[in-house]
Every structure is written in structure tokens, then in C-alpha cells.
Amino acid sequence: MENRRVVLLALMGVIAFLLYQSWIKDYGPQAAASSAPAATATETALSAGAGTARIHVVTDNMAVEIDPNGGDLRRVELLAYPVSKDKPDQKLPLLNDRDGHWSILQSGLAGTDHSYLSSETPLAAAQAHFDLNVSSNTLEVPLEYHDPSGFDVRKLYRFHRDSYIVDLEQTLVNHGDRPLTVSAYARWIRTPTPAADEPPFFHSFMGYGVYEQKPGINEYRFKKLSFKDLGKGSYESVQTGGWMAMLQHYFVAAIIPAQDDKLTFSAKPSSVVPGAFIGQYVDAQRDVAPGATQTFTTRLYIGPTSHGALDAIARGFELTEDYGVLTPVAKPLFWLLKAFHTWTGNWGAAIILLTLTVRAAFYKLTEAQYRSSGKMRQFGPRIQQLKERYTDDREALNKAMMDLYKKEGFNPLAGCWPMFIQLPVFMALYWVLAQSVELRQAPFALWITDLTAADHYYVLPVLYCFTMWAMQKISGQTATMDPTQARIMNVMPIALTGMFVFFPSGLVLYWVISNSISIAQQWYILRKLEREGRR
């Protein structure tokens, strides 16, 4: 019976892990719709600049295409991140409007009854191509438009060397004889296309994230808005400060307005592009007197979710690293993983060293678990005798078994608690290996050229199957089970291997090393227990 409990608990752990993985896919509460903001930021057609030559900007990190009609960001390629390992010259377009895919930034200046700067405003630039000079740390790209009705608008993008931050300044100059009321806005428009480098059986979050102010208090929380939930109802929050981001596996594109301003964040399905969604902010209204100028400044981040590099960008922005509820455990694990990588120069070697470290830290718990398992096997015949003696008296059987446990000095539940204590750590480590952009397309050795891709030669999954089988044989658990349970346990390594065939090789490497360590620890502890029993 006790062996059955251990087996069931182990199976429950696997099921809990898979359920948790499925829950992460849809993580993020559904928000209710509310009223529209005071300033009107009307969604405009996305094809406005289809026939207009674009402005090209190249920095050390980005290749950018800007539409002169409205100054929208239509394409941003991240030069340090190829789309795939096989196509190193094809860079990842985090923003893109080609082949029916929409992932762009629109921005502008809206009034209560008039649009001063929209995606239909024909802006002019001094040149068609801008390059970051080797002697400069910043590159400015200004665009302007003069409206004959009495106002000028300017949009300026400022790019920085060795940075994925882009400053966006939108300016209104009032040449008329009456005040103008204006609000700035910026929005991400995105179609929920599948992530290119997301393996089967692993689903990271894709949607919007907002750093939301809690109602009535000066505290904030990170809320995810999945496309699935936005299809059921729109979202809106009126607050001071905060930010909104477009999230996908490994990467984030964020709008970070001035943190002292009264802002309205909202998200909803697009009314222009079928299947697309909009996540936007609208700034507070400002009155621009005749002869006066008003500038709205917004920061953009368009880049990877690099560990430790996001903390200083904005309050709470590090939450986009997306380790979920296990972040307090995952972050120290990644810090240690990165330290091992600094030492070895190889992420695969770092995974092995981290696995060894974690298993060493839990050795005492593992010893307690295997000691309990060994004693249960040792006293199996005596327990079976008690079951046969008290077949029809459950209460007497339980009392006799408790007396046996007390006399021999062991607790059958001692083998269960170590597993549950270690489970959050192992699950956090799973998400570290699955979510860390630093491991994206990183090689290990020999045929493993990408730790985030599956092992196409199936060597690691086969090794996993063998180590799982060896763990069962050494423990001897299947020998004391009834035939049905034994068959389930014997099939389990094959079933899990079928799933691990599609898992990133870095994750499978972790499990192979972890299982190998478990085999060695189990063999040593059980032999030690046998020697103690012969004394």
C-alpha cells in the first residue's frame, strides 16, 4: 500500500507539472470592458503607406523601417537574433507587416474632435536612410508636417548605441489664434501568429502585458492579457504611470510613457485588421495655447527579455522575463546558471553544473526519500503478512502497521515530503531553461548545436528513457506492485520519452543528468542501507 502511495504521488507530480504548463499558456486574468478615454485615438488603416518609400534606420542592434505616413514603425529586425540557426543572415523581425502578419507600432496626437497626427499624416524626413555613426552614441530621426490650418507636428525617434530603447517624442506647435486640446497615444497592433521558435508541447504566453495600478492605492501589479481573453471582452485601466508591452517567447516590445502622467491603457480586438488586437495608451489631455508648443515623450523597448537587463528600464519591467509564479525561485537559479556559463563559456556545460549543484543541495532530502523507499521494500514481506492477517479488519491493520513503523523507527511518508519540497525548484529550473533568451540557439557539443531545439538524432531522449528505466529497476518498486501498476510504471518511461522527443535539447539534457545523478545516489544509499541492516 505504501509503495502504491509513493507511485501515485509521483504520478500526481507529473500530472501537476503538465497542468501547470497548460495553465501558463493561458495565464492572465480576463478584464472587463469599461468606458472610452476622453481623448479620441481613432484606429486608422494599416495600409496607408503601402505605396510610399520607407525611411530606413540602421543601428548596431536594429534595422528599422518607418512609414512616412504617420511615422509608424512597420518593421524592426533584431540584428543579434537570427530567425533560425539554419538561416543566420535572416534576422528576427520583432515588428513586421509582411506576408499578412501584423506586428507594428502606431503613434500620434489626437484631439477631442480632430486628429493632429495619425497614420494618414504625410510626414517628411530630411533623408531616406539613417545610420548610427561609429563615433556617436545616439541617432535621431526627425519627421515633420505643416498643416495649413495653423499647426505643425513633429515626430522624433532617438536610437541609442548598445541598447534596445527608443525614445519617441511627439510635438504639436500651435500657430493659430485659439487653444488646441491634444493627447498623445501609441499602440501595438498584433496578429496572434504562432511563435517561430516555440517547440511542440511547450506553450509560452503571447499577448499583452500591462503594469497596472491597483484601484485606489499606489501599488502596481503585472497583468497578462491573452488574445483569447481579449476576444471575450476588452480591457481598460485609467491610472498614473505604468506601461504596456507586447509579449512573445524570448522577446518584448513595450510602450513606457512618462510615469507622472495620468494615462489610459486599453486592449481590444482590432476593428480594421481581422484577427488582430490592439494594446495602447492615451496620455492626459493638454491645452496648447496660441504660439505655444507641447511635447509628449514616450520610451519604447523593442528587444529580448535578457535577464538582469530589464530592471532599470521601468518599475516592474523585469516581470516580462515571465518565469510566472516561480520567479522568486527561478531568478536565483538563472543567476547561478549564468555564473557557470561565465566560467565555462558553454550553456550546455552550465546546465550540467547547475544540475549537479541542485542535486547536491538536495542530497539529504534525497537520502531520506531513498531510505524510506528502501525500508518499505525491506519490510514489504512483513507488511504483506499483516495485510493477510487482518484482511477483514481495516482498523486493526492500520494499528498493526503503525506499531511496526514505530518499532522499526521509520516513517513511510518520509519518502514523499522530499519529492514535494523539491518539485517547485525543479519546475522553476524547467522554466529557466525554457524561457531564458540567453539559451536561444546556443550550442552545446557534437550534434547539439541549439539547446532550444529538439535533438533530431533522438540521442538524448533515448538516454532519458534508459535512465528512467534504470531508476525503476534499482528502486525495485515495480517488483512489489500488482501487475496493473507494474505495467503502468514500465510504460511510463516510453510515454514520457515520446513527449521528450519534441522538447528542447537543453531541457532533456537536464533530465538525463538529473536521472543519472539519481541512479548513482539511489544505488549508494540503498547499498548503505543494506550494510546498516547487516550490523
Task: Measure the CA–CA gap between 337 and 429, rounded to whole angstroms.
Answer: 10
User: How does pLDDT run across 125-162, given as a tens digit for each residue?
Assistant: 999 999 999 889 999 999 999 999 899 999 999 999 99
- Nearest alpha carbon to residue 325 among 224, 195, 212, 211: 224
Rounded CA separation 244/262 (Å): 14
More confident residue, 462 or 25: 462
**pLDDT tens, position by position, 240-261:** 999 999 998 889 999 999 988 8
C-alpha 182/C-alpha 295 separation (Å) is 10
pLDDT of the residue at 322: 76
The pLDDT score that the predictor gives to residue 35 is: 34
Q: Which one-letter DSSP state was computed for residue 345?
A: S
* Contact indicator for 81, 304 with CB cutoff of 8 Å: yes
**Which grid coordinates belong to 43?**
484606429
Looking at residue 394, its pLDDT comes to: 72
Name the residue among 263, 266, 255 with its Cα closest to residue 284: 263
Better-predicted residue by pLDDT, 494 or 301: 301
**Which pLDDT tens digit goes with each residue over 8-56?**
444 445 445 444 444 444 443 333 333 333 445 656 555 544 557 899 9
Q: Which residue has the higher pLDDT, 310 or 532?
A: 310
Tell me the per-residue pLDDT of 322-364, one tens digit each, with 9 for 90 and over. Answer: 777 788 888 888 899 999 999 999 999 999 999 899 888 877 7
Mean pLDDT value across residues 88-113: 89
Q: What is the pTM of this model?
A: 0.80
- pLDDT band for 91, please (50, 70, 90 cuts): very high
- Looking at residue 270, the DSSP 8-state letter turns out to be -
Closest to 453 in 3D by CA, of 464, 462, 444: 444
CATH assignment of 22-29+54-194+204-322?
A: 2.70.98.90
Position 6 pLDDT exceeds 60: no
Instruction: State how beta strands 55-58 and 129-131 pair.
Output: parallel
Structure confidence by residue, pLDDT tens digits, 463-482:
888 888 887 777 655 454 55
- Sheet arrangement for strand 138-147: 138-147, 151-160, 165-174, 293-304, 251-257, 244-248, 207-213, 220-226
- Antiparallel, parallel or unpaired: β 286-288 and 235-240: unpaired
Q: What is the mean pLDDT of the chain?
A: 80
Q: Are 354 and 429 in contact (CB under 8 A)?
A: yes
Q: Which of 10-14, 60-64, 202-206 has the lowest mean pLDDT?
A: 10-14
H/E element holding 500? helix 483-500
pLDDT at 167: 97
Task: Answer yes or no: are the C-beta atoms of 214 and 221 closer than 8 Å.
Answer: yes
Three-point CA angle 32, 35, 39, nearest 5° = 135
- Cα 167 to chain centroid distance, Å, stands at 25
pLDDT value at 298 more than 50 = yes
Confidence of residue 1 (pLDDT cuts 50, 70, 90): very low
pLDDT band per the 50, 70, 90 thresholds, residue 234: very high
Please tell me the predicted confidence (pLDDT) of residue 84: 83
**pLDDT value of position 432:** 83
- Cα dihedral 355, 333, 248, 70 sign: negative
Q: Where are the domains of the chain?
A: 22-29+54-194+204-322, 331-533
Nearby residues of 371 by Cβ (< 8 Å), 6 or more positions away: 410, 414, 415, 525, 529
Query: What gap in Å lies between CA 172 and CA 288, rounded to an integer?
Result: 8
4 or 225: whose pLDDT is higher? 225
Distances in Å between the alpha carbon of 420 and those of 255, 369, 496?
Answer: 40, 11, 20
284-305 CB burial, b ≥16 within 10 A, e <16? bbbebeeeeebebbbbbbbbbb
Pick from 365, 307, 294: nearest CA to 341 = 307
38 phi, psi to nearest 5 deg: -65, -45
User: Is the Cβ–Cβ distance between 493 and 501 less than 8 Å?
Assistant: no
Rounded distance, CA 235 to CA 22, Å? 23
Contact (Cβ atoms closer than 8 angstroms) between residue 354 and residue 439: no
The pLDDT of residue 31 is: 31
Flag the least confident range among 49-58, 310-319, 324-333, 436-445: 49-58
pLDDT of amino acid 86: 83
Closest CA to 258 of 158, 167, 340, 155: 167
**Share of residues in the chain with pLDDT > 90 (%):** 38
CA distance 265 to 63: 28
Res 195 pLDDT > 70: no
Secondary structure of residue 535 in the 3-state scheme: coil
pLDDT > 70 in the chain, percent:
75
Which of 280 and 384 is assigned the larger pLDDT? 280
